[in-house]
Amino acid sequence: MLRGVGIWTPQYSSVAALCTAAFNSSAAATSKAGLHRASADAADLWPQIVDAIVQGVCGWHVDLAGCPLIFATTKGDIRRTIRVVGQPDAPLPKLADDAIAIADACGFCGEVICISTACASSLAALCEAHLLLTSQPSLDRVAIVTADTASAFVQDGFASLRAVAEAGARPFDASHGGLCPGSAAAWCLLERGAALPNDIQLLGWGLANDAAHLTAPDAQGRGLTAAIHSAVQAGNMALDDIDVIMAHGTGTAFSDAMEARVFAQLFAHQPPLTAAKGLLGHTLGASGLLELSIACEMLRRQQIPPIAGLIRCDYPGINPVCGQPTQPTRPIRTVLKTASGFGGVNAAVIIGRYDR
Amino acid sequence: MTPAGKPNNILVDHEYQQAFTCMLQGPFPRPWLETVVPEVEGWLRGVNDRSRIGLFWASDLDSLWADAAFEISRRTDGGRFISPGAFRHTLANMDAGSLALHLRITGPVMTFSLGNDLEVAENSARRFLAGRRISAAITIIEFSANPNDNGTEKRKPIYHAAGSIERQVRARYLALAP
C-alpha cells in the first residue's frame, strides 16, 4: 500500500493544495516555477525542503525504527558542491550525505539508500522499495523521500541545452517550447498489511534502459515500451487495463514525441492522458513521486486533471486531457505513471485502488 | 577566470581545461573506469538479449568532478562558455548510462550514491535477481582508495577529481542459478 503521500513545492505545501490547483488548471495556466533567477537561486530552498520533509515524516506517526529510507534525487543540495569549488580544504560532498542528513533529521535509524537515476529517480526508488519489502518479510514498511531544486546550476545547464521554455512548459502542445525547471520534495511509505477501501496499491512497475543516446530519448521509445510492458506484466494485467496515463510530459519536442509515439503504439483504447509539468515545472528526480500524488487523487476523485498549458496537441493516436478536468468514460481503477531521463533511463509504475 | 576576468588563486585555466578535456573525451571520461570495461565485455560475450541484464552502479563521488567543472564554466567569463556537453555529465547516472550504451544493456540501470554501505549496488542487484526482474547483473562500485578515510583522501582539491584522486573500481557479475 502507498500511504502517507506528502509533497512540498514553493507554490503548494500539501497534496490537497496541489490537487486543488491541478484539477482546476487550464490551458493558460502554465507554471514558470523555476524562472525566478532575478530574485533568488532556488538552491537556497533546500533548508525549507528539508523542514517540509521532516514535518511530513513526523505526520506519519509510525514507528521508524528499522524502517529503511530510500532517498531519491538528481542533484540534491547543489549548494554544497558549489561552495566546495575553489576551497581545497572543504570535504567533498556526495548525494548520500543529503540522504543521511535527512534520515538523521527525521529519526530514521534503518538502512539508508540514495538513488540518483536522473529524472526517473523517485519512481526507481519506489521500485527499489517494493523489492526491499518483498525480499525482507520482516519489514513492514519502506520510506521513500525525494527532493530536487531548480537551482541556477540546473537552469544554466538546461539553458545550455536550449531546452528551457521561458514562458513555461506546455506538455504535448504543438508549440514544443521546452521544459521549465521546478523545485519540489515528496515523500511516502510503501507498506504491507491490511488494506482499507481507499488505499492505493502499487500494482506493477518496470525499469528499462534505452541504450541509444545519453541525453536524447530513443526516438522509437523502446526503453519506455519495455518498462511499460514489464510493469503491466508484473501487475498481471493487460495494456487494456490501464485507465489513465500520467506521462512524464516535459514539454520538450523529443521527449514528448517519444512518449506520444509509445502511448499511441501500445494503447489502442487511447486512455486519457494527462501530465503535470505544465503546472509544477520539471522537478527532476522528484517529479515521479510528486506527480504520483496527483495520480493517487485521480483514483480517489474519479476525475482527471487537464494538462496545464496544453492548447493544441498535434501528436496522433493519444487522448490528452485539455481544458477542463475530465470525467472518465469508464471508472479509473488504474493509473500508469511514467518517467524517462538522461542516461536512457525509463520507469513505469501502475497504481490502483485497493477496492477496484 | 572569475566573472571579473581575474583568476582566483585556486582555479586556473589549465585545471579547468583538464577537467573539460577529460569530460568531453568520452565515452568513459573517468580513466579508471576503462580498466573494468574489457572484463565486463567478457562477461557479456555471447549474450545477445541484454534486456534481462541489469547494471547497478555506486560511486562515492557521484558526478562531483563534472559538477565542479561545470560550475567553473558558469563562473568563467560570466558564463558565456557554458557547455551542454559538460552539463550532461553532471548527472550521477551518466557514467552508468555511458557503460550501458557501450554494452547495449537495456535492462534496469540503477545508480546509487555510495554512503557507508559498499554493498548497496550488489544488494540491490540481488533483490532484482531474487524478484526475477533480471537474469544477470553487473555491479560496479567506484570509490576513493580508502573509502572510510574522510580526513585526507577526500579533502584533496576538487579540481583534481578529474584525474588524480586515487580511485578503485570493483566490478562483479551476478547471475541467477541455472
pLDDT tens digits for B24-48? 544 445 666 677 888 899 999 999 9
B6-30: pLDDT as tens digits: 333 333 344 455 555 555 544 445 6
| CB–CB contact A131 B74 (8 Å) | no
What is the structure's pLDDT at B5? Answer: 37
Of residues A246 and A353, more confidently modeled: A246
CB A5 within 8 Å of CB A60? no
Q: In the predicted model, what is the mean pLDDT of chain B? A: 75
What is the structure's pLDDT at A301? Answer: 93
Residue A89, amino acid: D
Task: State what percent of residues in chain B have pLDDT above 90.
Answer: 38
Of residues A267 and A41, more confidently modeled: A267
B70-81: pLDDT as tens digits: 888 888 777 777
A265-322: pLDDT as tens digits: 999 999 999 999 999 999 999 999 999 999 999 999 999 999 999 999 999 999 999 9
Select from B61, B83, B96 the Cβ nearest to the Cβ of A94. Answer: B61
CB B147 within 8 Å of CB B119? no
Question: What distance in Å separates the CA atoms of residue A37 and residue A18, rounded to the nearest whole number?
Answer: 23
CB A255 within 8 Å of CB A213? no
Backbone dihedral angles phi then psi of residue A273, each to the nearest 5 degrees: -115, 130
Question: What distance in Å separates the CA atoms of residue A4 and residue A30, rounded to the nearest whole number?
Answer: 28
What is the structure's pLDDT at A86? Answer: 67
A262: left (phi over 0), alpha (psi -120 to 50) or beta: alpha
Domain count of chain A? Answer: 1
What is the structure's pLDDT at A37? Answer: 53
> Which residue in A149, A146, A183 sits closest to A57, CA to CA?
A146
Q: What is this model's ipTM? A: 0.95
Residue in B closest to A123 by C-alpha: B110
pLDDT at B108 over 90: yes
Residue B10: count other Cβ atoms within 10 Å of its Cβ: 14
Between β-strands A334-341 and A345-353, what pairing exists: parallel, antiparallel or unpaired?
antiparallel
CA A203-A320-A32 angle, to 5 degrees, is 95
Q: How big is chain B by its Cα radius of gyration, in Å?
A: 18
| CB–CB contact B108 A157 (8 Å) | no
What is the structure's pLDDT at A36? Answer: 52
Which CATH number is A97's domain given? 3.40.47.10
Task: State what percent of residues in chain A have pLDDT above 70.
Answer: 94
Mean pLDDT, residues A258-271: 98
pLDDT at A87 over 90: no
Q: Is B155 on the interface with A (CB under 8 A)?
A: yes
Concatenated DSSP letters for B16-73?
Answer: HHHHHHHHHH-S--SGGGGGTHHHHHHHHTT----TTEEEEEEESSTTHHHHHHHHHH
| Candidate from A22-31, A82-91, A337-346, B75-84 with smallest mean pLDDT | A82-91
Residue B178: count other Cβ atoms within 10 Å of its Cβ: 4
A126-170: pLDDT as tens digits: 999 999 999 999 999 999 999 999 999 999 999 999 899 988 899
Mean pLDDT, residues B99-111: 95
Dihedral of CA atoms B3, B82, A9, A18 in degrees, nearest 10, equals 140
Q: In the predicted model, what is the mean pLDDT of chain A? A: 92
Task: Tell me what percent of chain A is helix, strand and coil, each rounded to the nearest 5.
Answer: 35, 20, 45
CB A102 within 8 Å of CB A112? no
Residue B103 lies in a domain: yes
- Name the band, by pLDDT with cuts 50, 70 and 90, for residue B67: confident
Identify the domain containing residue A61 by its residue range. 2-353
B residues 31..50 contacting A (CB < 8 A):
50
Which CATH number is B134's domain given? 3.40.47.10
- Name the band, by pLDDT with cuts 50, 70 and 90, for residue B150: very low
Minimum distance, in Å, between the CA of residue B88 and any CA atom of chain A: 7
pLDDT at A107 over 80: yes
Of residues B60 and B124, more confidently modeled: B124
Q: Is B118 on the interface with A (CB under 8 A)?
A: no
Residue B76 lies in a domain: no
Domain count of chain B? Answer: 1
Identify the domain containing residue B160 by its residue range. 30-63+91-175
Question: What distance in Å separates the CA atoms of residue B110 and residue B125, rounded to the nearest whole number?
Answer: 9
| CB–CB contact A118 B93 (8 Å) | yes
pLDDT at B155 over 50: no
What is the structure's pLDDT at A259? Answer: 98
Question: What distance in Å separates the CA atoms of residue B169 and residue B178, rounded to the nearest whole number?
Answer: 28
Mean pLDDT, residues B106-130: 94
pLDDT at A50 over 60: yes
Run of H or E including A262: helix A253-266
| CB–CB contact B91 A111 (8 Å) | no
Of residues A305 and B67, more confidently modeled: A305
Residue B73 lies in a domain: no
Residue B51 lies in a domain: yes
Select from A81, A94, A159 the Cβ nearest to the Cβ of B113. Answer: A94
A148-159: pLDDT as tens digits: 999 999 999 999
Residue B119 lies in a domain: yes
Residue B8 lies in a domain: no
What is the structure's pLDDT at A281? Answer: 94
| CB–CB contact B93 A117 (8 Å) | yes
